[in-house]
A and B are shown apart, each in its own frame.
Chain A
Amino acid sequence: MTREKGIFRQVLERPLGLAVLSLLAVFYLVALFADFLSPYETSDQDLQKTYHPPTSVFWKDGGLHVQRYELAEPQEMVYRKIEGEGAPIRFFASGYEYRLFGLIPAERHLFLVDEPDRIYLLGSDETGRDNFSRLLYGSRISLSIGLVGISIIMVFGFMAGGLAGYFGGIWDGVTMRFIELVMAIPGLYLLLVLRSTFPDHLSPAQIFFLIVLILSFLAWGGTARIIRGMTLSLRNRQFVLAAEVLGQSSWKIVWKHILPNVFSYLVVAASLSIPGFILGEAALSFLGLGIQEPSASWGLMLSQAQDMKVFMLNFWWLLLPGAAIFVTVIAFNVLGDVLRDIVDPKQKFLSR
């Protein structure tokens, strides 16, 4: 027998795993470099260019240019190309200031055009803000919320489930009844009730953590139950009994013998809840209870696309955040399935 391969290697060896992992890697890189990649800040408006369609790009005089448009019908927001006119796109030019990775002061951007022209790769919204930039900034929220969330879920899922399973008794009964209670209430209502018990106006960071905490509270129960079941079966394994006979303390047994043996299940069980976090944040922001203007999140952007005008006048680019949510959620679902398949091929513990 050889040493077990790392779980990460095993994911990469499966075509589906490799595909979604690469896709997600690209997404995370984009989110990480959102400020470098986006030409405008999330709050940067241009009221002359509302509901602007995606600008096309052409080649002229040895350089890329962004097409210039004129507002043909102000009533219906129809823009028309001005043939042959455009503004040169400048690469690695200096624009608004930001801090790379939140630390390093910088002002370089991948591409920019000089004012008053604007580059809208994915169109603009009702106040002329760049949809592309907002989508990139919004990805930070959707992509990080799941990771922060599963860290919380892993800690609580293990503490509740592992300890309930190992110590049993009253602690077990109380935790399991509590989890059943939380799980019995439909998630969306509980989400709304919990959110409404907190003040409406908080700083963006406070809101982010509030959302993560609420969503974790809704999701930790499933993980805890899985871990409890595994702990119950581990508790009677002979190596755990041996540790007891040697005089090992209960805490050390949980830490040294239970945790390492449930860890991969813990990671997978928790990661299966990532889509729930992404959708939960989107739902809250969509309902105006989540991330607030001028910050961007995919759910918040979608809520602005509710305007009838968007449907009547076919501003399709404003629905792109929905597509982004869809793709991300599917990617995490597939990744979760692949991981589960590796860790628990017979689906003894991790079934949905």
Chain B
Amino acid sequence: MPDQDAGTSRTPLLEVRDLKVHFPVYGGVFRRVVDHVKAVDGVSFKVPQGKTVGLVGESGSGKTTIGRSIVKLVPVTSGKLFYQGSEITPLKRKGFFPFRKKIQMIFQDPFNSLNPRMTVEAIVAEALMIHFPEMTRSQRRERSADLLKQVGLEEEHLNRYPHEFSGGQRQRIGIARALSVEPEFIVCDEPVSALDVSVQASIVNLLQDLQEKLGLTYLFIAHDLAVVEHIGDEVLVMTEGKIVEQATARDIYENPQHEYTKKLLAAVPDF
């Protein structure tokens, strides 16, 4: 069905149109709103099906806020978000619920993103109970073991607690949790920034393998160009809540346009 394929690739999986996220700043005796932090201030981009879009920028530039507004963790001030062509911005909790199964997130800090009181099985199987209520206990366990193997862990890790794992292993658990709902789109919020350089490559490779195998689409957030250049098809460069450059990874490298991009490039170690 070449026609249909062409049709779906024309509508991007995710489209962000003039997104603004302003956080109120409270002050004074009566805790009134005295100002706003313009964390994201008019951002537009598209993420095509099956591709990876990299999002780069310094700390505080608003990358996480963009990622979180896509999964409705922060309220959108203005602008529109489209998923497979349909607008998701006005959806409330209930209306957005079906999209919880399609859009997932991998978090930045593997030491913070797993509940210390839950076993790996409980962590990975939590979403199964929500989105696959017909599954029995043993089916869930089987599926959790499967997911662990997919991310390079073992079945016997199921009964352990997060503190028994290294940072890289925890990030794998976080990836398994995101995969448990069989998502189409994953927001990867600096998934390797907190890890040792030696571990970073293995996690990036894992994400690429999974993308190929499962046909996933990524919005990949990073604060340096090196990682994104490796995984991204297209790169967005962001500073102070705005996207200042948008190009393919190669173009960014060979022909940076914006001053800020050049600065970022200068920070990438030469090999």
Which A residues lie at the B interface, using CB under 8 A? 1, 3, 237-239, 241-248, 256-257, 260-261
| Inter-chain contact A245/B115, CB cutoff 8 Å | no
Q: A1-B163, A3-B161 are in contact. Are A245 and B105 (CB under 8 A)?
A: yes
| Inter-chain contact B174/A242, CB cutoff 8 Å | yes
| Inter-chain contact A245/B112, CB cutoff 8 Å | no
Closest CB of chain A to B75's CB: distance in Å? 13
Closest CB of chain A to B29's CB: distance in Å? 16
| Inter-chain contact B116/A248, CB cutoff 8 Å | no
| Inter-chain contact A245/B174, CB cutoff 8 Å | no
| Inter-chain contact B107/A248, CB cutoff 8 Å | no
Closest CB of chain A to B134's CB: distance in Å? 16
Task: Label chain A's interface by main secondary structure.
Answer: helix
Q: B115 is contacted by which of A1, A3, A244, A261 (Cβ under 8 Å)?
A: A261
Chain B, 97-138, CB within 8 A of any chain A CB: 97, 100-101, 103-105, 107-109, 112-118, 126-127, 130-131
Closest CB of chain A to B26's CB: distance in Å? 13
Q: A247-B97, A247-B100 are in contact. Are A239 and B73 (CB under 8 A)?
A: no
| Inter-chain contact A247/B101, CB cutoff 8 Å | yes
| Inter-chain contact A242/B113, CB cutoff 8 Å | yes
Closest CB of chain B to A158's CB: distance in Å? 15
CB contacts between A and B, total, < 8 Å: 59
Closest CB of chain A to B160's CB: distance in Å? 9
Which B residues lie at the A interface, using CB under 8 A? 68, 71, 73, 97, 100-101, 103-105, 107-109, 112-118, 126-127, 130-131, 161, 163-164, 174, 177, 180-181
Q: A1-B163, A245-B73, A245-B100 are in contact. Are A238 and B127 (CB under 8 A)?
A: no
| Inter-chain contact A261/B107, CB cutoff 8 Å | no
Residues in B with CB closer than 8 Å to A247 are: 97, 100-101, 127, 130-131, 181
User: How many Å lie between the Cα of A100 and that of B127 in the bound state?
Assistant: 50
Q: A245 is contacted by which of B104, B108, B114, B118 (Cβ under 8 Å)?
A: B104
Residues in A with CB closer than 8 Å to B131 are: 247
| Interface pairs (19), CB distance under 8 Å | A238-B109, A239-B114, A241-B105, A241-B107, A242-B105, A242-B107, A242-B113, A242-B174, A242-B177, A243-B115, A245-B71, A245-B100, A245-B103, A247-B100, A247-B101, A247-B181, A256-B118, A260-B117, A260-B118
User: How many Å lie between the Cα of A256 and that of B126 in the bound state?
Assistant: 10
Q: A241-B107, A257-B115, A260-B117 are in contact. Are A248 and B126 (CB under 8 A)?
A: yes
User: How many Å lie between the Cα of A185 and that of B103 in the bound state?
Assistant: 51
Residue of A nearest to B98 (CB): A247
Residue of B nearest to A260 (CB): B117
User: How many Å lie between the Cα of A261 and that of B112 in the bound state?
Assistant: 13
Q: B107 is contacted by which of A238, A256, A257, A260 (Cβ under 8 Å)?
A: A238
| Inter-chain contact A248/B104, CB cutoff 8 Å | no
User: How many Å lie between the Cα of A237 and that of B109 in the bound state?
Assistant: 10
Residues in A with CB closer than 8 Å to B100 are: 245-247
| Inter-chain contact B126/A238, CB cutoff 8 Å | no
User: How many Å lie between the Cα of A237 and that of B163 in the bound state?
Assistant: 16
Closest CB of chain B to A116's CB: distance in Å? 63
Q: A1-B163, A260-B117, A261-B117 are in contact. Are A246 and B109 (CB under 8 A)?
A: no
User: How many Å lie between the Cα of A241 and that of B113 in the bound state?
Assistant: 8
Closest CB of chain B to A180's CB: distance in Å? 15
Residues in B with CB closer than 8 Å to A242 are: 105, 107, 113, 174, 177
Residue of B nearest to A261 (CB): B117
| Inter-chain contact B181/A246, CB cutoff 8 Å | yes
User: How many Å lie between the Cα of A3 and that of B113 in the bound state?
Assistant: 19
User: How many Å lie between the Cα of A246 and that of B71 in the bound state?
Assistant: 10
| Inter-chain contact A239/B164, CB cutoff 8 Å | no
| Inter-chain contact B116/A261, CB cutoff 8 Å | yes
Q: A238-B108, A238-B109 are in contact. Are A246 and B116 (CB under 8 A)?
A: no
| Inter-chain contact A244/B73, CB cutoff 8 Å | yes
Closest CB of chain A to B149's CB: distance in Å? 21
Residues in A with CB closer than 8 Å to B103 are: 245
Residue of B nearest to A4 (CB): B163
| Inter-chain contact B126/A246, CB cutoff 8 Å | yes
Given A239-B112, A247-B127, 19 more pairs with CB closer than 8 A: A1-B164, A3-B161, A237-B112, A238-B108, A238-B112, A239-B115, A241-B107, A242-B105, A242-B107, A243-B126, A245-B73, A245-B103, A245-B105, A246-B104, A246-B180, A247-B101, A247-B130, A256-B115, A261-B117
Closest CB of chain A to B123's CB: distance in Å? 8
